[in-house]
A and B are shown apart, each in its own frame.
Chain A
Amino acid sequence: MAKILLEMKSITKTFPAVKALDDVNLQVEEGEIHALVGENGAGKSTLMKVLSGIHPYGSYEGQVFFDGEECHFTNTKDSEKKGIVIIHQELALVPYMTIGENMFLGNEQGSSFKINWNETYGKGNEYLRIVGLHESSRTLVKDIGVGKQQLVEIAKALAKNARLLILDEPTSSLNESESKHLLDLLLKFKSEGMTSIIISHKLNEIAYVADKITVIRDGHTIETLTKGVDDCSEARIIKGMVGRDLSDRFPKRESHIGEICMEVKDWNVYHPLYTERKIVDNVSFNVRKGEVLGISGLMGAGRTELAMSIFGKSYGEAISGTIIKDGKVLHLNSVKEAIKNKIAYVTEDRKGNGLILSNPIKTNTTLSNLKGISFKGILDRDKEYKVAVDYKEKLHTKAPTVEQYVGNLSGGNQQKVLLAKWMFADPDILILDEPTRGIDVGAKYEIYCIINQLVAEGKSVILISSEMPELLGMCDRIYVMSEGKFVGELDGKEATQEKIMAMIINSDNSPKLVDDEPASEENKEEKKGEK
């Protein structure tokens, strides 16, 4: 048996509201590729943050052993000194610096007072050759594509003398051939003795490269599968990822579904910066009165982008398609018009895009409908107060008064304020984007009750969620989205997690690395044809 390079023993990490990791154990042998799988929010990234020192020693319980000795990392610099290098999902490169400068950022060649540029670019070119990137290290990062940037990140990690390489969703923004190149690179490194941990949703890729697969679910390690010993098929992995009971986590509801309320047809959206990238690809759907409609998909599938582009074109470029609401074609060019036509979008990023943390509950509650509390531009502050108190009571928001600053509330209560804000705007259709992200089980249940109340009043709710049990427990109908396309539609009662996962994985867009090559070639041809 090979030497164990990394061992994480009974790691427990608690955030104010939730227990993100609960007694997690991980063993990685030297020279293997270890895959970490689990749903969004299962705790994979938190575990890696503990390992790399982003969550410093002392903020979690448990022990980390690397190369036989116990480690107390207080920041990423400590872990990098040991040779643990993490490559995050979002690329951390400075666009207006050269590849070489980026590669040695914080690790500059030469002395502190005199950077040795020859060595920087010379070594830079060497590392670029190792990762198979044929670019000069003097090229600006902004001038190369995302795929190549990912390779630069890897080269940067190698330049830090990495012994353990951690890749968080490395292929999420890459196309097929780029992904294949990257995975082959990992295999090549492995043959040279490098150890890697890969986090990915793409199970076919994991099956292609991984020697061992550890499944994490709800902050627990469920099992570790070894290639060649255990069954490592996709179905087997999915079972490990999703198997959990669903009893009584969702309030019961009698559905009274009416006629079609809104219809979206042939909806296309392009990326605002990389205008040739299609983010939403020819999506059509409808939602009925009193219905909870779910949109399932993995992170980066384009769900948020779809919702925001419908909500007054607040995301994307070159948006095309039709929105028909109550029999009328709508042209929504601004958020204001969307609100006026009774469509509301409750953002997934409540701190960044939803709430004004430095303002009290009452001003946040009324912000999207100031007309409702004013007359000819003059605010009725007493009415505002009353509205805020009403919603606070209706949604059971826990706060001493409505004068409380939103920034001081817990995540669940912030979410309720955000919901109150959009309920006060009185929409017919509420698009809820990850409404229960990062909040505890009790608050989740209350949010579900609010959703049920809304549809009971005859409103429609579109629920975007990465938590499949939530969609299964709440929705009358579920659309499955993958890589910008709707790849399936399921009735809420018939849907299962396995079915949804299978739809995502079998969608034509994901690379077929283990399957026969010709099929993959065909896909490429198709893709070219589309362009």
Chain B
Amino acid sequence: MNTNSKVLNFVNKYTMIFALIAVVIFFSISTNGAILYPSNVSNLIAQNAYVFVLATGMLLCILTGGNIDLSVGSVVCFVGAVGATLMVSKNVHPVLAVIIMFVVGTLIGAWQAFWIAYVRIPPFIVTLSGMLIFRGLSNVVLDGLTVSIQDCTGFVRLFGGGANCYVPDFFHGKDINITCILATVLAIIIYCAIMINSRMKRLKKNYEVEAVTPWTVKIVLVCAAITAFGIRLAQYKGIPNVLLIVVGVIVIYSYITSNTTIGRHFYAVGGNEKATKLSGIDTNRVYFLAYTNMGLLSALAGMITIARMTSAQPTYGQNYEMDAIASCFIGGASAYGGIGTVPGVIIGALLMGVINLGMFSMGVDQNMQKVVKGLVLLAAVIFDVISKRGGKVIAKN
């Protein structure tokens, strides 16, 4: 491979990271550094937690062939409504309520997944119907009213709502949260250990490994990013509880998609369903799992949403599906399926989050924010399609 194509390859692979860095630099200049304030960094996580969770689930659906789930926002609202009603009106213990919410979300997912996977109704139709059904049912459950869950402090704090939703500082640092610093150090150690270990293993077995320089650069950059992020959080109130949940979801699903057979099945079905079927893989089951899982993660997002708002309302969750879908496509998932990674999608979601936050800090009009976000989405997918076509702009007829 010559240098030129190497550079091109590199740029292609990390485009969205460059875009993210560029956007962060742009907004830190135009807001005089405001978006990098500790409180803003912390808010970025809290505000976008639901997007990270939903985008991860949406990725699995999109991997199966560019299929999307439109019902996500309504399911988030419905599960939240059920949970809030149980905890407030029926005095159900929060732990039991959480379990029930997960079960309800998964069942809703399974209901839609059945029609999609086994009866082969197009996902667009099934989830559009789900979008209507569960929006309607949310209204029925809540009777059209707002249910406040301010008194369920345990639940609210755990899922990142209210004033005190941070991991407590066990060392009582004065200006800085020491637990957070320690966690940052720990994260860096774990990351480096995993990277070094896998490299050693490969070297030992004489497998091909990345060249030393880019490998080291990559590790240094990632560690720098973690450090900067950790310090910002420590300067504010520490680690938001919801960050733990988000990190948990990211780690689990990154692992599933890249290291398990079932994860491989998702990519295979999206890449070529017929070939996958003829390789002895149950493709119906893959669709079923994708949409059932989407229900499960919608339930989690529902909990995060009502905790953050400390209430449940029949209007919650509107357009959440669009945030999730946009994050996936911006993060490099293919609109035809078979391509996309969890870290990529998270970067997509972060990019959207930073643009939101930046424009908000700049005082850009709400409506113009939507215009910009729409253009970013289109640009990202155009870029993806054209670069895959080898740079040709107009498709062959």
Are A385 and B259 CB-contacts (below 8 A) given A357-B272, A368-B280?
A: no
CB distance from B208 to the nearest CB of A (A): 7
- Of the residues B262, B264, B338, contact of A358 by C-beta under 8 Å: B338
> Which of A311, A358, A363, A377 has the most CB atoms of chain B within a 10 A radius of its CB?
A358
The segment from B176-184, B199-207, B245-253, B318-326 that touches chain A is: B199-207
A359 interface hit (Cβ, 8 Å): yes
B28 interface hit (Cβ, 8 Å): no
Please report the C-alpha to C-alpha distance between residue A340 and residue B279 in the assembled complex, in whole angstroms.
11
CB distance from B194 to the nearest CB of A (A): 13
> Which of A338, A357, A367, A382 has the most CB atoms of chain B within a 10 A radius of its CB?
A367
CB distance from B215 to the nearest CB of A (A): 16
Please report the C-alpha to C-alpha distance between residue A265 and residue B21 in the assembled complex, in whole angstroms.
66
Asked if B271 and A335 sit within 8 Å, CB to CB, the answer is no
- Of the residues A352, A367, A379, contact of B274 by C-beta under 8 Å: A352
A314 interface hit (Cβ, 8 Å): yes
Q: Which B residues touch A345, using CB under 8 A?
A: 278
Interface residues of B in 38-65 (CB under 8 A from A): none
Asked if B277 and A314 sit within 8 Å, CB to CB, the answer is yes
Please report the C-alpha to C-alpha distance between residue A363 and residue B275 in the assembled complex, in whole angstroms.
13
A354 interface hit (Cβ, 8 Å): yes
Q: Which A residues touch B267, using CB under 8 A?
A: 356, 359, 363
Please report the C-alpha to C-alpha distance between residue A370 and residue B286 in the assembled complex, in whole angstroms.
15
Asked if B274 and A353 sit within 8 Å, CB to CB, the answer is yes
CB distance from B54 to the nearest CB of A (A): 25
CB distance from B251 to the nearest CB of A (A): 15
Asked if B278 and A386 sit within 8 Å, CB to CB, the answer is no
Asked if B260 and A378 sit within 8 Å, CB to CB, the answer is yes
B261 interface hit (Cβ, 8 Å): yes
CB distance from B304 to the nearest CB of A (A): 28
CB distance from A362 to the nearest CB of B (A): 11
- Of the residues B207, B259, B278, contact of A378 by C-beta under 8 Å: B259
Q: Which A residues touch B282, using CB under 8 A?
A: 334, 336
Q: How many A residues touch B, CB cutoff 8 Å?
A: 35
CB distance from A383 to the nearest CB of B (A): 9
Asked if A401 and B278 sit within 8 Å, CB to CB, the answer is no
Interface residues of A in 403-438 (CB under 8 A from B): 421
Please report the C-alpha to C-alpha distance between residue A385 and residue B282 in the assembled complex, in whole angstroms.
24
A347 interface hit (Cβ, 8 Å): yes
Q: Which B residues touch A374, using CB under 8 A?
A: 260-261
Please report the C-alpha to C-alpha distance between residue A325 and residue B149 in the assembled complex, in whole angstroms.
66
B77 interface hit (Cβ, 8 Å): no
Asked if B205 and A347 sit within 8 Å, CB to CB, the answer is no
Please report the C-alpha to C-alpha distance between residue A355 and residue B278 in the assembled complex, in whole angstroms.
10
Q: Which B residues touch A339, using CB under 8 A?
A: 279-280
Asked if B260 and A377 sit within 8 Å, CB to CB, the answer is yes
Are A359 and B261 CB-contacts (below 8 A) given A335-B279, A336-B282, A353-B278?
A: no
Q: Which A residues touch B208, using CB under 8 A?
A: 385, 401
Asked if B338 and A359 sit within 8 Å, CB to CB, the answer is yes
Please report the C-alpha to C-alpha distance between residue A312 and residue B280 in the assembled complex, in whole angstroms.
9
CB distance from B195 to the nearest CB of A (A): 14
Are A355 and B275 CB-contacts (below 8 A) given A336-B280, A400-B1?
A: yes
Asked if A382 and B201 sit within 8 Å, CB to CB, the answer is yes
- Of the residues A353, A381, A385, A400, contact of B275 by C-beta under 8 Å: A353
Asked if A354 and B275 sit within 8 Å, CB to CB, the answer is yes
Please report the C-alpha to C-alpha distance between residue A336 and residue B277 in the assembled complex, in whole angstroms.
9
Q: Which A residues touch B260, using CB under 8 A?
A: 374, 377-379
> Which of A352, A356, A371, A381 has the most CB atoms of chain B within a 10 A radius of its CB?
A356
Residue of B nearest to A383 (CB): B205
Residue of A nearest to B334 (CB): A358
Please report the C-alpha to C-alpha distance between residue A401 and residue B280 in the assembled complex, in whole angstroms.
26
Q: Which B residues touch A421, using CB under 8 A?
A: 279
Asked if A377 and B262 sit within 8 Å, CB to CB, the answer is yes
Residue of A nearest to B282 (CB): A336
B276 interface hit (Cβ, 8 Å): yes
Asked if A359 and B278 sit within 8 Å, CB to CB, the answer is no
CB distance from A137 to the nearest CB of B (A): 30
B70 interface hit (Cβ, 8 Å): no
Please report the C-alpha to C-alpha distance between residue A386 and residue B208 in the assembled complex, in whole angstroms.
10
CB distance from B373 to the nearest CB of A (A): 28
Residue of A nearest to B208 (CB): A401
Asked if B202 and A382 sit within 8 Å, CB to CB, the answer is yes
B72 interface hit (Cβ, 8 Å): no
Asked if A368 and B279 sit within 8 Å, CB to CB, the answer is yes
Residue of B nearest to A367 (CB): B279
Q: Which A residues touch B300, using CB under 8 A?
A: none
Binary flags per residue of A317-335, CB closer than 8 Å to B gives 1, else 0: 0000000000000000011
Interface residues of B in 207-263 (CB under 8 A from A): 207-208, 258-263
Q: Which A residues touch B334, using CB under 8 A?
A: 358
Are A382 and B207 CB-contacts (below 8 A) given A368-B279, A368-B280, A370-B264?
A: yes
Q: Which B residues touch A347, using CB under 8 A?
A: 275, 278
CB distance from A484 to the nearest CB of B (A): 22
- Of the residues B261, B275, B278, contact of A377 by C-beta under 8 Å: B261
Residue of B nearest to A350 (CB): B275
Q: Which A residues touch B272, using CB under 8 A?
A: 352-353, 355-357
Q: Which B residues touch A378, using CB under 8 A?
A: 259-261
> Which of A334, A357, A370, A421 has the most CB atoms of chain B within a 10 A radius of its CB?
A370
Are A379 and B339 CB-contacts (below 8 A) given A314-B277, A352-B274?
A: no
B335 interface hit (Cβ, 8 Å): no
Asked if B277 and A386 sit within 8 Å, CB to CB, the answer is no
B290 interface hit (Cβ, 8 Å): no
Please report the C-alpha to C-alpha distance between residue A382 and residue B203 in the assembled complex, in whole angstroms.
11
Residue of B nearest to A314 (CB): B278
Q: Which A residues touch B280, using CB under 8 A?
A: 312, 334-336, 338-340, 368
Please report the C-alpha to C-alpha distance between residue A311 and residue B264 in the assembled complex, in whole angstroms.
23
Please report the C-alpha to C-alpha distance between residue A60 and residue B30 in the assembled complex, in whole angstroms.
57
Asked if A379 and B259 sit within 8 Å, CB to CB, the answer is yes
Residue of A nearest to B205 (CB): A382
Asked if A335 and B207 sit within 8 Å, CB to CB, the answer is no
Q: Which A residues touch B339, using CB under 8 A?
A: 358
Residue of A nearest to B265 (CB): A370
Asked if A386 and B268 sit within 8 Å, CB to CB, the answer is no
Please report the C-alpha to C-alpha distance between residue A233 and residue B105 in the assembled complex, in whole angstroms.
73
CB distance from B9 to the nearest CB of A (A): 11
Interface residues of A in 378-407 (CB under 8 A from B): 378-379, 381-382, 385-386, 400-401
- Of the residues B1, B258, B261, B275, contact of A356 by C-beta under 8 Å: B275
Asked if B207 and A356 sit within 8 Å, CB to CB, the answer is no
Q: Which B residues touch A385, using CB under 8 A?
A: 207-208
CB distance from A439 to the nearest CB of B (A): 18
Q: Which B residues touch A338, using CB under 8 A?
A: 280
Residue of B nearest to A355 (CB): B275
CB distance from B260 to the nearest CB of A (A): 5
Please report the C-alpha to C-alpha distance between residue A352 and residue B277 in the assembled complex, in whole angstroms.
12
Asked if B201 and A356 sit within 8 Å, CB to CB, the answer is no
Please report the C-alpha to C-alpha distance between residue A334 and residue B276 in the assembled complex, in whole angstroms.
13
CB distance from B64 to the nearest CB of A (A): 13
Are A357 and B261 CB-contacts (below 8 A) given A335-B278, A339-B280, A368-B279?
A: no
For this complex, 22 residue pairs linking A to B, each with C-beta atoms less than 8 Å apart, are A311-B278, A314-B278, A345-B278, A352-B275, A353-B275, A353-B278, A354-B278, A356-B268, A356-B276, A356-B338, A367-B275, A368-B279, A368-B280, A370-B264, A374-B260, A374-B261, A377-B260, A377-B261, A378-B259, A382-B205, A385-B207, A386-B207
Known: A335-B280, A358-B338, A378-B259. 11 other contacts (CB 8 A): A338-B280, A354-B278, A357-B271, A358-B334, A377-B260, A377-B261, A378-B260, A378-B261, A379-B264, A381-B258, A386-B207
Name B residues whose Cβ lies closer than 8 Å to a Cβ of A: 1, 201-202, 205, 207-208, 258-264, 267-268, 271-272, 274-282, 334, 338-339
Name A residues whose Cβ lies closer than 8 Å to a Cβ of B: 311-312, 314, 334-336, 338-340, 345, 347, 352-359, 363, 367-368, 370-371, 374, 377-379, 381-382, 385-386, 400-401, 421
Nearest 8 CB-CB pairings of A with B = A356-B271, A368-B279, A336-B280, A335-B280, A370-B261, A339-B280, A356-B272, A367-B279
